[in-house]
Structure formats: C-alpha cells, structure tokens
Amino acid sequence: MFCINQRTIKKEIEIKGIGLHSGQPVKLKLIPSQADEGINFVRNGVVIPASIEYAKGFDFSTTLIKDGAVVRTVEHLMAAFYFTGIDNVIIEIDAEEVPILDGSAVQFIEAIKKAGIEILKAEKLYAVLNKEITVVDKDKYIKGTPSHSFSATYHAHYNNRVIGNRKYTYSNLKSDYENVAMARTYCFLEEVEMLQQMGLAKGGSLDNAVVFSEDAVLNPEGLRFEDEPVKHKVLDLIGDLYLLGFPLIGSVYSFKGGHRLNAEFVRKVLEEKAFDLKYSTELDFNGINLMPVQ
C-alpha cells in the first residue's frame, strides 16, 4: 500500500516580476504552512483562500476576490503547486497580480524545487470524481468523467493556421508535466489592441507571451513545442481545477474552454457533490505520480 502525505515548502521563497495584465511590478512571498491549512493568498491583510468560492473574474486570467482584496492571474502559480504536490502554502502578494515571469509555470516550479518540499505529518486528500459532469457555453464544453487517474485534455479549434485543430492530453507522467509546465501564455496579434483597450495585457511582451499573427509566430525564438498553445491551455485548466481545493482524480476533456468555463466546471463539481474525498491509501490504483522530493 502506498501513502502520500501533504506537502508544503521547506523555506520562504521570494519571487519578483510584473503582472501580465496590470503591467505593475509585484513581489510574492511564499511561506510554509501547516497541514490542512490549504493554499491561501494574503493581500492587504485579507486572507483569500485559493478556492473556487472566491474566483470572480475570468477575462483572460482567473481572479480571486474577497472583502475587496483582489489577486489576479493565479492559474499558472496554482498549476505549479499542483505539479509539485504542494497542498499548503501562504502567498503574500504586494500588488494585484501574480507575476507572469516567462508566461509559463516553469519558474515557479524551479523556485519551489530550489527551496525544497517539506513532507507534513498528514495524509493527502484527493477529490475523486464520482459521476459525469458537463458544462457548456455555445460551441465550447468541458466534460469530466470518473477515472482511476487524473488526465486533462484540451482540444483547440482555431481558424488561425498556426494553431488550427489540435488536441493534447496530460496524464500524470513526468515528461507530461515538464511539457505542460514549460508552455507559455499566448495571444493573437489582432487581439493585442482589443486587450489593451480593455486595460489588459499592459505588461505583455515577447518575453512573457507567444504572439501569433495569421500564419506566423512573432517571437524570434519561436515556439518551445510545436503544440505549445494547446499545452498552455492544459496548464490553465490544471491551475483552475486546483481551485477545487484538492487534486482531482478523473478525466477532464475541454473543447475550446477558457477560464470562465473551467471555473463553471469546478463550481458544478462542488455544487453537485460530484466527488468523494479520499486519502491516497483508499485509492486502489497507481494513478498518482507526484514529483519526487529532492
């Protein structure tokens, strides 16, 4: 029998950068936390649990709001916690938006690995999907199906020639996590002006996002993977799913979904009590593959 315990970080971590949408400089301080405390942001003295309950804004990123305190663009950091198996941590943030860094989750993961992962004396809990859940928005949908392990599929369907019709599935294998974690945020050139008129993407540049024109990638270094955009969508999905409060066990399939639909899916899973909380020792499979502690 295998038993997986909860995790936090070994010591404090400081991460500086700028917000993708706000363009503002920001400093994060990640602080170790006790078992069963969960993931909590602290902004202007307000504790905002990283929970779907507080997810309120979905314009090109996921925003948490509680008692007037706002934390934007939490999804890549949440995915980094998911990948490193961090269940408990405090994130002090001195501006409104989590730094975008290179547009992926890889720098968060490297910082966590460098600080080290602490194993706590409490068993990890998983949310095991117990029935099918579907959310639909016009031609987009997300469907969750019970399964013995976690997988997340994104199916992109763009007219844009460089992205086109593509699918990628993450399953809990090491190479998969590395692929997904490295995939950067992207946007289309024709969206840039619209985003900026909406007051978004003020911190965006070719250093933290992939920009596509009709038929080309504008970044001089090109793509990290041929299917980097669809892998990034999987990264966003995984980060948003972690707002459930527990790692999910089930197969999730997203056809063209975005942050709003991701959040709707998580909310429906909660509302319909579509999961059972189980300890790792109650799970009858080897579908859990957590990043090793160094």
- For Zn ion, the binding residues (CB under 5 A) are 185, 236
Which one is catalytic: 21, 76, 232, 259?
259
The Cβ of residue 276 has, within 10 Å, a number of other Cβ atoms equal to: 12
Choose between 227 and 275: whose C-beta lies nearer to Zn ion: 227
The Cβ of residue 106 has, within 10 Å, a number of other Cβ atoms equal to: 21
Least distance CB 101 / Zn ion (angstroms): 12
Least distance CB 89 / Zn ion (angstroms): 20
Question: Is the sign of the CA dihedral 214, 220, 226, 227 positive or negative?
Answer: negative
> Are residues 230 and 256 in contact, defined by beta-carbon separation less than 8 angstroms?
no
The Cβ of residue 132 has, within 10 Å, a number of other Cβ atoms equal to: 12
Least distance CB 98 / Zn ion (angstroms): 11
Least distance CB 185 / Zn ion (angstroms): 5
Active site residue 259: yes
Choose between 227 and 236: whose C-beta lies nearer to Zn ion: 236
Choose between 4 and 52: whose C-beta lies nearer to Zn ion: 52
| Residue number closest to Zn ion, CB atom | 236
Choose between 96 and 236: whose C-beta lies nearer to Zn ion: 236
Q: Which two tokens stand for residue 243?
A: 């707002």
Burial class of 286 by CB neighbour count within 10 A (0 to 12, 13 to 18, 19+):
exposed
The catalytic residue positions are 259
